[in-house]
Chain A
Amino acid sequence: MGRFVLVNLWAKKGRSFGITLAVALAVMTVVTLAAVSNGLKNSATQVLEISKSDFTVAQKAAPDILNSTIDSHQLAEIRATRGVASAIGVLLETQDLNAANPLFIEIGIQPGDLRRFGVTMVAGRPYAADASHEVMLGWRAAQNWGLRVGDIFHANGTWNRVVGIYSTGISYGDLGAMFPLPALQAYNRVPGALTLIFVKVTPGDSVAKVAAAVDYNHPELTTIRTASQFGRADRNLVFLGAAATGSTVLAILIGAIIVGNTMLLSLFERTREFGVLRAVGWSRSRLVALVGSEILVLAVAGSMLGIGFSFAAAAVLEILPPLRGVLHSDFTTVGFLRGLYTGIGMAVIGALYPALRAAHLTPLRALTHE
């Protein structure tokens, strides 16, 4: 039957192409959204990975993790929590330096916390705690800007001398710059404010219990131990994930309507053909298998095409001015599978009714169909 299926599809090239394209566009939307969502999530979770902490504390349900606001008193209270070995308060800000760096990451951290935060000096020295106009650049940022120790780096509306080059081992951190905490707070007019607190638990103590204690004592804050808990602090990612799921469902429904409509038209065109097949002894199930196989071939072809399209779509999104340097699409097997089941799902749902109608045509009525 395979050859018959292919011959039928080839015989109606326009219809086959239309269905394939509909599937491809739906799959492209779903896979691209999944890749974008993953990319943004990765970027965000990398913030947490810069430190090698046991858990991170952020403001609960902030629209974006970079908008989390914690004050220094809360840092002191968390440091005093039983089982907490160290708690590092960090201010994270972004600067629009130029078109290529619209969201340059700046980290405000006390020099005494650098080692525990996982920072290794590659060149130069750490800045002084109360220094103004001193900055450390991540080695990737220094490379991108072509700056070395002693050079001047302009940011936050002022000049800053590069006193050191550092590495965190996380590309997100190494693409940014570190400033003395009070200096960055002053530049951004948020004295005493922190974005995140990175907590290390005393060896032997339970991370879960200490995190639970922080959650209990600070209902306005939330603890994050895994990437999956990220949504507690970053509502945008939750919304993005929901949008990705919603778009999958919508793509399946809209695609199914398009496929179903096209298949139904095709059914009317092929009524006589189906009647002949039934008259020469084809069973209903064989006819359903024929229609099902045809749509399955188109669904798989459309899904493959859609996955190909999604690479192009993601590449275009990555170079759009508002997203340049921010969006790094992350294509995962899960994203591809989601695309595949979207394609197959819309095709199967769309073809179900036409296939059943074809199967229930009486051969005599089908043969006399004009």
Chain B
Amino acid sequence: MSDDVVDPAPRARPIIECRGVEKVYEDGSVHALRGLDLEVAPGELLAITGPSGCGKSTLLHLLAALDTPTAGSIRVGEYDLARLRRPDHYRREEVGLVFQLHNLMPQLSAVGNVEVVMVGTHRRRRDRAARARELLAAVDLLPLADRRPPQLSGGERQRVAIARALANDPRVLLADEPTGSLDSDSVRTVLGVFERLRDDLGVTVVLVTHDESVARIADRTVEMLDGRVRHPDGEVEAPEVRGPSALPLGR
């Protein structure tokens, strides 16, 4: 168990808890998050929507430990992100990231892009390759496993990126506008993958999106405005907490 792990939490607890999160950028000119509170249940597919500049991506960066909050607390699984000493370990073990622009490495094949995330983990090289192919099969890309990103369509690249994000069995998948640069057919395919991840693997998915079709597959949609979560009734909404996943990603 990592040094960064705090108290092992019972599964019924929300897997993500944000309390009074503030984010002011260094020069003080942008107050991106203003006392944000948010809970996400294990296995939930949460869509975060809102206008540009409302703080969606900032929140996702904080959840991915790519940035640190100015105030407030964030807990993801057993990790207290405010006290994180090894963010790389957290990003490798606990969360998977999917970017709007897939950010695949063009010199590597699809399977290589998935495999590279597992370099330095306990997995042997042969196991890594097998695992990468297994994940590509899960996103229906096994026949294209040896192709390089320039040889894949936008939707295929994004599915490789999703497979990459799942390589180290994360409990939480964070996706920033994953359908933002895709055509409608590819959007449907990619959203189908997210649904399967939730339904078959029990992965908690947080999607930041402008796309209304994404909201339709989500268990819950929260809208952000001016750095806060905006609830229709103005009250904090307690999320539905699911039981332990039938497929806990090999943990």
**B74 adjacent to chain A (CB < 8 Å):** no
A1: which of B86, B89, B119, B168 is its contact (CB, 8 Å)?
B119
Please give the distance in Å from A120's CB to the nearest CB on chain B: 66
* Interface pair A279/B112, CB less than 8 Å apart: no
Contact with B along A336-370 (1 / 0, CB 8 A): 00000000000000000000000000111001000
Within 8 A of A (CB), among B2-41: none
Q: Are A281 and B107 in contact (CB under 8 A)?
A: no
The interface residues of chain B lying within 8 Å CB-to-CB of A283 are 86, 88-89, 120
Number of interface residues of A (CB under 8 A): 25
Task: Report chain B residues within 8 Å CB of A273.
Answer: 105
Least CB separation from A283: chain B residue: B88
**Which residues of B (95-140) have their CB < 8 Å from a CB of A?**
96-97, 99, 103, 105-108, 112, 116-117, 119-120
Most B C-beta atoms less than 10 A away, residue of A272, A279, A282: A279
Bound form: Cα–Cα A279–B108 in Å: 17
Q: How far is the CA of A4 from the CA of B108 in the complex (A)?
A: 8
Q: What is the distance, in angstroms, from A149's C-beta to the closest C-beta of chain B?
A: 74
Task: Kindly list chain A residues whose C-beta atoms are within 8 Å of the C-beta of B89.
Answer: 281, 283
Given contacts A4-B116, A284-B88, contact A279 B64 (CB under 8 A): yes
Number of interface residues of B (CB under 8 A): 28
Q: Which residues of chain A have C-beta atoms less than 8 A from B168's C-beta? A: 281
**Chain B hits for A10, CB < 8 A:** 107
Task: Say yes or no for B80: interface residue by CB 8 A criterion.
Answer: no
1/0 per residue A272-287: CB within 8 Å of B?
A: 1101111111111010
Interchain nearest-CB distance for B119 vs A (Å): 5
Which secondary structure dominates chain A's binding surface?
helix
The listed residue with most B CB atoms (<10 A of its CB), out of A11, A278, A281, is A281
Bits for A14-46, please: 1 = Cβ < 8 Å to B, else 0: 000000000000000000000000000000000
Nearest chain B CB to A290 CB, angstrom units: 9
Give the distance to chain A from B122, nearest Cβ to Cβ, in Å: 13
Whether the pair A280, B61 counts as a contact (CB closer than 8 A) is no
Cross-chain contact B66 with A281 (CB below 8 angstroms):
no
B226 at interface by CB-CB < 8 Å:
no
Give the docked Cα–Cα distance between A363 and B67 (Å): 9
Interface pair B92/A4, CB less than 8 Å apart: no
A186–chain B nearest beta-carbon distance, Å? 76
B112 A280 Cβ-Cβ under 8 A: no
- Least Cβ–Cβ distance between B89 and chain A, in angstroms: 7
Find residues 204-229 in chain B having any chain A CB closer than 8 Å to their own CB.
Answer: none
B91 touches A279 (CB 8 A): yes
Closest chain A CB from B104 CB (angstroms)? 8
Interface residues of B (CB under 8 A from A): 61, 64, 66-67, 86, 88-93, 96-97, 99, 103, 105-108, 112, 116-117, 119-120, 164-165, 167-168
19 pairs, A vs B, C-beta closer than 8 Å = A4-B112, A4-B116, A7-B112, A272-B103, A275-B103, A276-B103, A277-B116, A279-B97, A280-B96, A280-B97, A281-B88, A281-B90, A281-B91, A283-B86, A283-B120, A284-B88, A286-B119, A363-B66, A367-B66
Q: Given A8-B107, A280-B91, 11 more contacts at CB 8 Å?
A: A4-B108, A7-B108, A276-B105, A279-B64, A281-B89, A282-B119, A283-B88, A283-B120, A364-B66, A367-B66, A367-B99
